[in-house]
Chain A
Amino acid sequence: MRILLDSPAAVHRLRTMPTAFMPMRRPNWNDPPLWSLPLTQTAIVSVPGNSVWTPVLNVTGIPGFIAVINKFVLTAYLPNALAGINTRLIYNGRFTDSIQLVGSGEYNRTTPTSWPTHGRQTFFALVNGNDSVQLQVQNTGVFQQLILAAFYGWYANVDDQAERATVQGMGDA
């Protein structure tokens, strides 16, 4: 049904309709859709001293879905133990130049000594079906460190053709 609001009479008709359907949705990368799947992934990894870059967390897309990561945690077990820890994010095998995870930084820890960590909404990444996001850590210190990291979000189905086109257009940018 197409109603053109090109005249006062048309406006009056729409205004006086007793019922109407008004879809009010946020897109599936803002809200998990009904047919979404959970994405709750954590890692507790012991990284030896003077290490090479070590993968800690890896999220891979599922065909037909996009992985939406909207919360992020990165910390180490001991207080201030992140000194000497370098972190980087690899998106499809490449560095993400828009995300700089500064060394010696705590991410979403309330205080350096309190637990649990808090997955605040400080992070956003879309992972299409064939893509991947990997968090890597390098320990330049002498002692081994216990690294804790988490990605939170959801896998959103994109079986809707119109929305898929939109999503892929964004993901390829």
Chain B
Amino acid sequence: MPELTSSDLQLALAHVRKDFGPARGISSVRLVSVKGIPTIVLMSSAPGRPSGIPSRVRLRLKSGKTIQVPMLWRNSAHASNQQMWGGGTQVTRLFPRLIQQGADSQAPETPTGQMIPVDDADYQFMIGARRPAFAVPSYWSKPFDISGTVCIPTYNTWVNVLAHQTPATEMIVLTGASYEFNDCLQLLDVFQIQVQETGIGRNAMWYDMLAQANPDPAFQFAFSGHCQPIPLTMVVDHDQTVTARMQVLGQIPFSNSPSTKLGGCGTLYLHGWISKLTSPLDVGYRGFDTGSIAEGGDGMLGDITPGGVE
């Protein structure tokens, strides 16, 4: 395989962006590496691969040699485990910075539109990098604090308190939960909370207790309060629904049955943030880092033909 330069690849990428850009419904064109093989990935919201897109493009290098670069397509709206492996966060620019040599040093004047001349080791890289949207809030994130209230007529009975479906273009990251009860609990009454993402077998379920008769509901319970919610690490993907339910067991030892009258209401508050999966500026899919990328094992690129590049 001939030696590739970054300018070769960037030139190829520019051509592909020009030829297979928005006119064919392509929302994103990226250049990635699969086992060291440069590969172009097109993304669109169409249900199938758009017509007229070849499986590979021929790239003529400056050296005169020609190679073929595979061109893969993926559906940007689909978000299965395999297809969400969108690679890393995108660094839009690499800024060369002059290493200051002393108090007398001054950055050179850079003519607009021209590259800074680089001919020695006076510059260092400054790379903007983002952490994934499920780990820290992205720029387009919003606070997510919802609550639900339900009447709890009897002990030892699960009652659904809230349900919330994540919009198709967003993702919710829950970080904590807190609660209040009104005319419901006595001191040392134990209750259970369960938070569940639809279709996920493993839920968060915990016990808590009315620990003190503080008039401020933020300081009444053993494990959670509005000022310091109980830690809850949960990602609710787009189109998924988070549901929550609660039941009151009473004091230890639990002797109440589902027929034991209780009354009163309980309110559950979920805290976190909601991240947009699309940019409100270009309404295009903005891929984000979804986890580890094994060397050459990127699931999103699983349909590449091994050895398909000359």
Q: Measuring CB to CB, which residues of chain A are less than 8 angstroms from any residue of chain B?
A: 1-3, 8, 11-26, 28, 31-44, 46, 62, 71, 73, 77, 114-119, 146, 148, 150, 152-155, 157, 159-163
Contacts and interface: CB of A to CB of B under 8 A. Distances in A.
Contacts of A32: 134-135, 233, 235
Nearest to A110: B228
A118 B7 contact: no
A39 B233 contact: yes
Interface centre among B211, B225, B232 (most CB of A within 10 A): B211
Contacts, number: 201
A77 B188 CA distance: 9
A34 B291 contact: yes
Contact of A37 (B94, B202, B220, B291): B202
Contacts of B32: 21
A16 B118 CA distance: 10
Contact of B84 (A24, A26, A34): A34
Given A11-B118, A40-B231, A150-B223, A28 B291 contact: yes
A1 B33 contact: yes
A23 B290 CA distance: 10
Interface stretch (B102-110, B122-130, B147-155): B122-130
Nearest to A2: B36
Given A21-B90, A22-B88, A33 B120 contact: no
Top 6 nearest A-B pairs (CB, nearest first) are A23-B88, A38-B204, A24-B129, A152-B231, A160-B292, A13-B6
A157 B200 CA distance: 13
Nearest to B14: A18
9 contacts: A28-B292, A31-B132, A34-B237, A38-B203, A38-B232, A73-B223, A115-B212, A115-B214, A117-B222
Q: How large is the interface on B (under 10, 10 to 19, 20 to 34, 35 or more residues)?
A: 35 or more
B255 interface: no
Contact of A24 (B88, B205, B225): B88
Given A115-B220, A115-B222, A44 B190 contact: yes
B144 interface: no
B293 A115 contact: no
Contacts of A117: 222-223
B66 to A, nearest CB: 18
Interface in B224-239: 224-225, 228, 230-235, 237
Given A21-B32, A38-B232, 4 more contacts: A15-B94, A40-B231, A44-B252, A150-B206
B221 A163 contact: no
A148 B209 contact: yes
Contacts of A16: 6, 94, 115
Nearest to A149: B223
A14 B234 CA distance: 38
A23 B89 contact: yes
